[in-house]
Structure 1
């Protein structure tokens, strides 16, 4: 008997392997997926400028990175004892102005290099709702707790999001024509916007992504993370305490659907080996000085060395 509605996931025609260079951008769900890539030691970079929820702000950052256009004093401001930038997440904010600018430009240069070598860019959109700075008339990625009266709230149209997504693809392809894209919509519901408003927002994102795929069919696929969460996992036991975010069980389940269809089957064996090593590194024995535990550590070191000889970029902490 079938007790769930299974969401079909199409197998990727450009699967990820351990030689792939991956960048994940977008909402907090991009961070969730990025943690999985890091755990299995893929060559992945996740949200270098922090969590970004909307397509317009992502386009702005990618354009800046592709053009290698440095941040200046005109791009930052001081508020609540910290220097901020409306283009990036608050986690990067800093009390020292010079350090803040230096950090931003260091990340920018690193992102510029990564984009040029990417094989896969995975973008997770969170919302169509955005805030526009009244003074500059610019959409911001983060309000940094600046008073609400300095912004207007608006819903990006399907066409606006589609335009930004197409621009993102074109910008990256201008320096790296071989990059493949995976678009997805975050399964996190933004209830602070309202229940109906959240549905409207997600529908705009899904429509925009599929319209973009029509224009760029070969290098872009859609992974249905949102649909898996809302339909296949439609039970509150798969949600965190806030009843909005997927819990670890749901994240693990969605990751399994992803790697079974987007990662080359030839890498499954290595992934299992790395998973075994990760569990071994976390093991805390009751009696660490016993001969059996020392033998276990030696075998673990041998496994690590074998993998690192073949893949020097893989490091275990």
Structure 2
């Protein structure tokens, strides 16, 4: 059977170890940012955790005052949370301490955004939940009872108004910023398969309307749903792409954006990391100690010749 392949992008964007990349949004942002960080690139991602809908992503990028409003914070048991953040971002030392923590996260993120070269934005769903008590659209319901929320499907026109304003603000703050949009291939089946498709369709319409010279599209959705259209590429839930699918997206990503020289440097760096991560059978042997010392010297020289690699 013939395999469906996503054609190579006609791409003008090139990344190297001098590039500063910011990732926000859904799971693609987490997966690719982690791969890049492991390869020593300068990466910042999701200060408030994974976010799915375009309105919540917009708040993180250009509307921190909405996030920091007193009504945006809530308490469950002895834990403090924020309606505009993922549940993994929480405070256990009182409200004031958590407010300071969220403020610092946003300040650091905005500083990084102002000096970034590329911003990768991943949208996951057009569905949002409005907290009835404050009429606030939230990023996460934090397992508060469902009756407290009203579910909405955002219109393309509404999202366009918000995102044209977001892009204008971003370009004013950082004129050289390049922006890449992508749509998450993770299906939100709890919404229903038909509803999920309608939701994704609106995201594609939004991204298409926003594309111009400095805003492009990366086909993560197509890579997973077309090239990897087999359950062998998904986790047991049949929804989330597994390591094989993520690897295919990553390969397409670095083939698209990294020059041959950057790819070569990356492979050299990973070779050193793999060597030092390997557990020797006889680490105390003279032979192994000698090999390690030689590799440490080579690695030191390598890092001195590539000072922009963020070694962890």
Under a length normalisation based on structure 1, what TM-score does the superposition of the two structures give?
0.93
In structure 1, what is the equivalent of residue 264 of structure 2?
269
- The yes-or-no answer on 1:3 pairing with 2:2 is yes
State the Cα distance separating 1:118 from its structure 2 match. 0.8
For 1:202 and 1:118, the matched residues in 2 are separated by 28
**Aligned-partner SS, 1:35:** helix
Does residue 1:43 correspond to 2:38, yes or no? no
Shift of 1:115: 1.1
Please say if 1:126 is aligned against 2:124. yes
Distance 1:158 1:299, change over 3 A: farther
Q: Distance in 2 between matches of 1:288 and 1:193?
A: 53
1:79-98 per-residue CA deviation (whole Å, 9 max, x = no partner) reads 23211111111111112223
Which residue of structure 2 lines up, in the alignment, with residue 289 of structure 1?
284
Change (3 A) 1:295 1:106: same
Identify which range, 163-172 or 28-37, moves more after superposition. Answer: 163-172
What secondary structure does 2:40 align onto? coil
Q: 1:59 corresponds to which residue?
A: 58
Distance (Å, rounded) in 2 between the aligned partners of 1:177 and 1:237: 43
Q: CA deviation at 1:70?
A: 8.1
Q: Segments of 4+ in structure 1 off by > 6 A?
A: none
RMSD: 1.7
Q: Do residues 158 (structure 1) and 156 (structure 2) align?
A: yes
Q: Distance in 2 between matches of 1:159 and 1:302?
A: 58
Q: Secondary structure at the match of 2:120?
A: strand
Partner of 1:169: 167
| In structure 2, distance between residues paired with 1:162 and 1:110 | 27
When normalised by structure 2's length, the TM-score is: 0.94
Q: Which residue of 2 aligns with 1:211?
A: 209
The count of residues paired between Structure 1 and Structure 2 equals 311
User: 2:145 — aligned with what?
Assistant: 147
* 2:75 corresponding residue in structure 1: 78
Which ranges of structure 1 fall in alignment gaps of 5 or more residues?
Answer: none
CA–CA distance in structure 2, aligned partners of residues 212 and 310 of structure 1: 40
> Which whole-Å deviations, capped at 9, do the CAs of 1:90-135 have from their partners, x for residues lacking one?
1111122232112111111101111110100001111111101112
Q: Do the aligned partners of residues 105 and 307 (structure 1) sit closer, same or farther apart at CA in structure 2, a change above 3 Å counting?
A: farther
Structure 2 runs not aligned, ≥5 long: none
Is the 8 Å Cα contact of residues 62 and 171 (structure 1) preserved in structure 2?
no
